[in-house]
């Protein structure tokens, strides 16, 4: 599928995987709406790639609608990448076996609201706009890529909410792709392994943390870089025969 002259939306586009995807989609000729909470980084990126930045909280349906409307003014909306997400650590039970009140239900709800429900809301609103596009030779009108995580398959201590949110994204891939096939829209999901982005924080402690994480990667023994994920995003958007797939991009990592 050709995206030259089309518009695209990248949620979480101000940072990390989303920013790399926005750059690579722009290089393919799309005008990208960078939709994120981080205005300074988002504005700078939009300027660099000839796109538009919009403050969008993916838990706010009206803000998503505004982004979809803005994109359709820039060209037919043919590509959407759901990269907005947060990591969160909480234990359901404290180390001493007591319930840990610092890690409450609200924290769990917040992760689900952003990572899972936010992703679904963007998918449904974007697909509705895509359904109005002129079809290509296949009848294709657009493509969407969601970002899950290997945490969907492999849960770590304290990451119930994160794994549940990403497992939900994996779980919705096939049924939503089936729904969207009726309007010529493809949906694929990427499950990244450990990718060196600001999601792990910045500074000495996070560098040491990341260096340690790299040991679990099969090969190459390092964290992934955002461009290695973004090139898969572009493949899934532009390859018209990719649909309803969940692809790990993770260096073969299996967490202990
Ligand atoms: P990142 O922190 O660099 O980027 C995430 C972006 O999402 C940020 O710019 C942030 O401002 C934005 N965001 C957060 N909440 C938002 C909200 N409510 N509305 C709109 N934007 C919001 O992280 P990243 O590593 O680039 O992560 C991108 C996606 O990939 C996330 O969904 C993450 O869970 C997933 N992922 C990352 C890794 C990794 O190792 N980096 C691994 C697996 C999955």
Q: Which of 64, 27, 23 is nearest to 42 (CA)?
A: 23
CATH of domain 7-249: 3.40.50.720
Reported as a single tens digit per residue, the pLDDT across 212-251 is: 878 889 999 999 999 999 999 999 999 999 999 999 999 9
Reported as a single tens digit per residue, the pLDDT across 167-204 is: 999 999 999 999 999 999 999 999 999 999 999 888 88
CA angle 203, 204, 208 (to 5 degrees): 125
pLDDT score at 89: 62
Q: Which residue, chain included where needed, has tokens 């359904």?
A: 131
Radius of gyration over alpha carbons of the chain, in Å?
18
pLDDT score at 205: 74
pLDDT score at 213: 79
| Mean predicted confidence (pLDDT) in 121-134 | 98
The two counts, helices (H) then strands (E), for the chain are 8, 7
Ligand 1, residues 11, 16, 66: which to mutate, most atoms within 8 A of Cβ? Answer: 16
| 86 CA to centre of ligand 1 in angstroms | 5
Atom of ligand 1 nearest to the CA of 199: 2
Domain ranges of the chain: 7-249
Please list every protein residue whose CB sits less than 6 Å from any atom of ligand 1.
11-12, 14-18, 36-38, 56-59, 83-86, 114, 118, 147, 149, 192, 194-195, 197-199
Q: Which residues are catalytic?
A: 162
pLDDT score at 196: 95
Residues 6 or more apart whose CB falls under 8 angstroms from that of 121 comprise 58, 59, 61, 64
What's CA 199's distance to the chain center, in Å? 12
Residues 6 or more apart whose CB falls under 8 angstroms from that of 112 comprise 161, 164, 165, 168
């Amino acid at each position: 599928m050709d995206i030259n002259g089309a518009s695209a939306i990248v949620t979480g586009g101000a940072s990390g995987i989303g920013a790399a995807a926005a750059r690579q989609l722009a290089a393919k000729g799309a005008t990208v709406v960078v939709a994120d909470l981080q205005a300074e980084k988002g504005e700078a990126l939009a300027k660099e790639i000839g796109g538009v930045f919009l403050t969008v909280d993916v838990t706010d349906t009206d803000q998503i609608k505004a982004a979809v409307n803005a994109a359709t003014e820039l060209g037919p909306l043919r590509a959407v990448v759901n990269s907005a997400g947060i990591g969160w650590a909480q234990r359901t039970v404290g180390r001493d076996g007591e319930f840990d009140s610092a890690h409450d239900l609200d924290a769990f709800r917040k992760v689900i609201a952003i990572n899972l429900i936010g992703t679904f809301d963007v998918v449904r609103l974007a697909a509705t706009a895509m359904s109005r596009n002129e079809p290509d030779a296949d009848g294709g009108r657009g493509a969407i890529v969601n970002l899950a995580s290997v945490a969907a398959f492999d849960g770590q201590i304290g990451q119930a909410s994160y794994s549940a949110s990403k497992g939900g994204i994996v779980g919705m891939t096939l049924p939503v792709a089936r729904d969207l096939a009726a309007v010529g829209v493809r949906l694929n999901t990427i499950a990244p392994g450990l990718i060196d982005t600001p999601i792990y924080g910045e500074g000495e402690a996070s560098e040491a943390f990341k260096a340690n994480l790299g040991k679990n990667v099969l090969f190459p023994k390092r964290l992934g870089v955002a461009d290695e994920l973004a090139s898969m995003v572009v493949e899934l958007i532009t390859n018209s025969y990719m649909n309803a797939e969940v692809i790990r991009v993770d260096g073969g990592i299996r967490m202990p």
